[in-house]
Amino acid sequence: MRTTMRSGTAFFGLVMAAALVAPAPVSAQRTAKPVLHGRHWMAITGKPLGATAGSMIFQQGGNAVDAAAAMLAATATMWDVLSWGGETQALIYNPHTQKVIGINALGVAPSGATAEFFREQGMEHPPESGAHAAVTPGTPGGLMTMVAEWGRLSLAEVLAPAIEMAEGYPMEAGTAGRIRGAAEQIRQWRYSREVYLTHPDDMENPAPRAGEIFRQPDLKATLEKLVEAEAEALARGASRKEAVYAAYDRFYRGDIAEEFIRGAQEEGSMMTMEDLDTWQVYIEEPVKTNYKGIDVYKLTSWTQGPVLLQTLNILENFDVKAMGYNSTRYLHTLYQAMNMAYADRDFYYGDPYFPPEEPLEGLLSKEYAKARAEQINWERNDPNMGPGDPYPFQGGTNPYLHYLERWNSTARPVTEAAGPQAMADFDEDFYRGTTSIEAADEEGWVVSITPSGGWVPAVIAGRTGVGMSQRAQSFVLSEAENPYNVIEPGKRPRATLTPSMALKDGKPFLAFAVQGGDGQDQNLLQFFLNIVEFGMNVQQAAEAANMNSSQMRGSFGAHESSPGRMLLQEETSPWVRRALTDMGYRLRFSERTSGPINAIYFDWEHGSFWGGSSHHGDDYGIAW
């Protein structure tokens, strides 16, 4: 009895001590960076120089579309995680129509890029780098379409900061380090080594030094040709819009295109002038769902964007707030819901302009989400959770049930048994980064962009200074793996890139995006829930600890997966760690558990913008 009393007293003391040091509510947590406040405009992106470019355009009278395009041009000139030959995905809110617009500026597989071609090379997927990894350039077309259709300034004004940067900007340490690490690969490609390796005689470190003025005369000439084409069109009496499209034509059909194709083919690419000529930017209607009165918009199945909407639909069946922020129950629920949505992504998503037609109506139905929610195993992780069958929820019959029955046999699982280097390579592929761009102005224009492609090390195509994309690796070669995403000429790969926008009461509520490959919509989901369910402000939500799953199939490299593997913030409590381990999870920990999230929250009560930008990485915002 005395022992029991001592135990009870000790337990009571522990409870009291815990109560005295109980953490503040999540909505009261301090942040490493302050919220960014603005009244007239806001510009946020992955590089300080990029944000400065956006602010310059705002100060010249440009709107949020002009500023976002200037930030895109600047970051594409800085090479780190994207370049001018990459791809651009955007959502734009037009205040005059009160509609959200989708921009599809993802490149396509070139002539000759068939599944048979790559299988004959002994490959299971298109390569991660080199000329055969490329799809056609999308960023130039996406940028010029946005400026032409919804911008206010000339292309010359929008490109002026990028042209000045191409003339020379101080190299960043991170980019210099990436170039140094890829130097041997870069040496294979004539025009890449001439641009990247500024110290070719230094065999130990041929890369630029941090702070060195990095000059790109070929890229500068290409951008100046675009401005020249616009000026010539204006001199002929063209409208502002027509003049911008004259520059578009010069890139995709004129002398820029000719040099790009010549240089690409010199490095072994199958890309042709016809590939560039027939490629086009699509202006689309995005997909959306409503989560507790908030309309959330994403680009459609050529990105992974709908996976966020599917996951929200599943979670709407539960009281996630009552579970508690980052509790065992909450983390398990998120992991299982994401498993289901991502398995659907891995099997059903692809280019909607090519057959077969993706079953998006069924995938995004609330009834399908409820049926999936009922499949959650509340005791353990299900490492074999595969795609569902959305066809009955849109009144159809699934033509690919024979693939679903053996879908798990097509997986390429990787575990810690493969060794530390194998897991490090897996993580590098899984979280392959890019950047994000958020802009808003007092007129009501809102822009969210997640561009990428042409990262270090890229094949530079001839004297254009334009690095080629590596996005073809996101295709598959087998229908059994994903019948909607098998590579063929003219087709877009299903990309990870996924800008986001949310409206509440018919008005902008959030614009948000993040870098980080297959982690993007995982982190954006938790960012959104942090605000909507847990009352965080936009900066707190950007810095908050996240959970990441590695169970879905990677979109890069060998398309591997690691079922049950979970990334948590390193300060996660020991009792949560133990409970999750008992549920079959393999845990790993890091101080940082998401890519840098950039976001704008719209404060309609006070008529202002709140900006958030993660406290790691180079991401930066400027407001006025």
Q: What is the pLDDT of residues 20-68, one digit of tens each?
A: 333 455 666 789 999 999 999 999 999 999 999 999 999 999 999 999 9
User: CA dist 399 to 92, 194, 359, 390, 396, Å?
Assistant: 35, 51, 11, 11, 9
pTM of the model: 0.94
Q: Output 353-361 pairs: Cβ under 8 A, ≥24 positions apart.
A: 353/282, 353/491, 353/492, 354/488, 354/490, 354/491, 356/399, 356/483, 356/484, 358/301, 358/484, 359/390, 359/391, 359/394, 359/396, 359/398, 360/287, 360/300, 360/301, 360/306, 361/390, 361/393, 361/394
> How much helix, strand and coil, in percent to the nearest 5, is found in the chain?
40, 15, 40
For residue 511 the two structure tokens come to 């614009």
CA atoms within 13 A on the CB side of 461: 33
pLDDT tens track for 181-233: 999 999 999 999 999 999 999 999 999 999 999 999 999 999 999 999 999 99
pLDDT band with cut points at 50, 70 and 90 for residue 432: low
Q: How far is CA 124 from the centre of its chain?
A: 24
List the beta bridge partners of residue 468.
Answer: 85
Q: Hey, CA dihedral for 552, 110, 244, 100, is it positive or negative? A: negative
Q: Is 369 helix (H, G, I), strand (E, B) or coil?
A: helix
8 Å CB contact between 368 and 390: yes
Arithmetic mean of pLDDT, 572-592: 96
Question: Could you tell me which of 233, 192, 256, 250 has the C-alpha nearest to residue 457?
Answer: 192
pLDDT tens track for 466-506: 999 999 999 999 999 999 999 999 999 999 999 999 999 99
* 467-483 exposure pattern, b = at least 16 Cβ within 10 A, e = fewer: bbbbbbbbbbbeebbbb
pLDDT tens track for 146-160: 999 999 999 999 999
pLDDT band with cut points at 50, 70 and 90 for residue 363: very high
pLDDT band with cut points at 50, 70 and 90 for residue 1: very low
pLDDT band with cut points at 50, 70 and 90 for residue 426: confident
Residue 15 has pLDDT above 80, yes or no: no
% of the chain exceeding 70 in pLDDT? 95
Arithmetic mean of pLDDT, 323-338: 98
What's the confidence (pLDDT) of residue 184? 96
What's the confidence (pLDDT) of residue 592? 87
